[in-house]
Amino acid sequence: MIRLKPKANARAIRRGFPWVYANELVLDRRTKALAPGTVALLEDQDRKPLGLVGLTPASRIAARMLDRDTGAEIGRDWLAARLTRALALRERLYEAPYYRLVHAEADGLPGVIIDRFGDTAVVQPNAAWAEALLPELAQALVEVAGVTNVLKNAGSRGRSLEGLDDIDAVLAGAAPEAPVPVDMNGATYMADVTGGQKTGLFYDQRPNQAFAARLARGQRVLDVFSHVGGFALAALAGGATSALAVDGSAPALALAEEGAARMGAAERFATRKGDAFDTLTALGDEGERFGLVICDPPAFAPAKPALEAGLRAYERVARLSAPLVEEGGFLVLCSCSHAADLSVFTGACLRGIGRAGRRAQLLHTGFAGPDHPLLPQLAESGYLKALVFRL
């Protein structure tokens, strides 16, 4: 049993906010001695129960709300019920079993990310309570989703904040011996679920890649920070005359090339390994122009302390990429930084476009796909923004 301090905002928790910060909890000697991942009863200042939480006393987010029902038993059956609800949504949305199956707090499993690749599920247990229940979670996944393989990916930054290890593991079945082909938006992507970035593929950009593909028909396309060919391969499926993918990772670009070959578009696809800023500058010096340019960088502002530097980086991306767009062409600028909300991100992009001497129409604002639902009480769950400009 743990309790909120007198000045903590119990009302926000009752209204659905899923986190309790360390400075809001009475962290006495007894509470600090509880093992990370302990499931505890949370009470307000007046000792009225608020629900069950997963506790990590040493973390800034000291407790994560699991269930308002104080009589719930947090175990395999409870996990199976949450997974069943999450799976029902995805099966309604997608015909093929390739999607984000669990999007953490928004799916009632705080700190847990699960991406599905056919009969393989990749789990990122980024909270101590989930790490403590990994065997039960893997068993529930096999039973509910019918997957054969369950892999633990321990590469997330969030795990270190919870004091967790960085050791990947096979929780059920076996790890695929080769990258998994994923058909999406008419393109074929190769997902390295064991050695790739994050879980191997970013499903969140699916609707934004589809929108960009509509603009790509008959155009030369440049995709910067391409990873395994995200926007470039979708553009080729949409009828682009050619696509150039730029990334700093040679293995990611090799997977992009394999995907292009599998979809019969190898002759229209090229890659360029290098730093994105240096490559954008070089392409400008070379006089290159494209009908569609996409820049989808990593999170330049992963937290509030990095916001100002992150906004300068987004502005620089816009300033360097805008001159590469043909007159009347299109520029797609993306951010996955939850600390940079839509307003400030848009402002940074417009400053960069303006400083490049270009004028822009904002055609479309995109967000993550519906397999990445937003928990309205938690702004961090709505991290992705994609702005589509006509220059």
CATH number of the domain where residue 237 is located: 3.40.50.150
Are both 118 and 229 inside the same structural domain?
A: no
- Rounded to an integer, what distance in angstroms lies between the CA atom of residue 383 and that of residue 336? 5
Instruction: Quote the tokens at residue 248.
Output: 């700093």
The reported pLDDT for the residue numbered 7 is: 87
317-343 mean pLDDT: 97
- Rounded to an integer, what distance in angstroms lies between the CA atom of residue 282 and that of residue 232? 19
**What is the extent of the structural domain holding 163?**
76-172
Q: How many domains does the chain have?
A: 3
213-217 mean pLDDT: 98
**pLDDT tops 90 at residue 379:** no
Note the pLDDT tens digit of each residue in 46-81. Answer: 999 999 999 999 999 999 999 999 999 999 999 999
The reported pLDDT for the residue numbered 161 is: 86
Q: What angle in degrees, to the nearest 10, is found between the helix axes of 76-93 and 134-145?
A: 40
DSSP conformational letter for 166: -
Are both 220 and 352 inside the same structural domain?
A: yes
Are both 283 and 363 inside the same structural domain?
A: yes
Task: Exactly one of 295, 334, 336, 349 is catalytic; name it.
Answer: 336
Q: What is the pTM of this model?
A: 0.95
Across the beta sheet with 98-103, the strand order is: 98-103, 112-117, 120-125, 149-152, 169-172
Hey, what amino acid is at 153? N
The reported pLDDT for the residue numbered 249 is: 96
Q: Is 336 a catalytic residue?
A: yes
Are both 207 and 149 inside the same structural domain?
A: no
- Rounded to an integer, what distance in angstroms lies between the CA atom of residue 108 and that of residue 361? 38
CATH number for position 166: 3.30.750.80
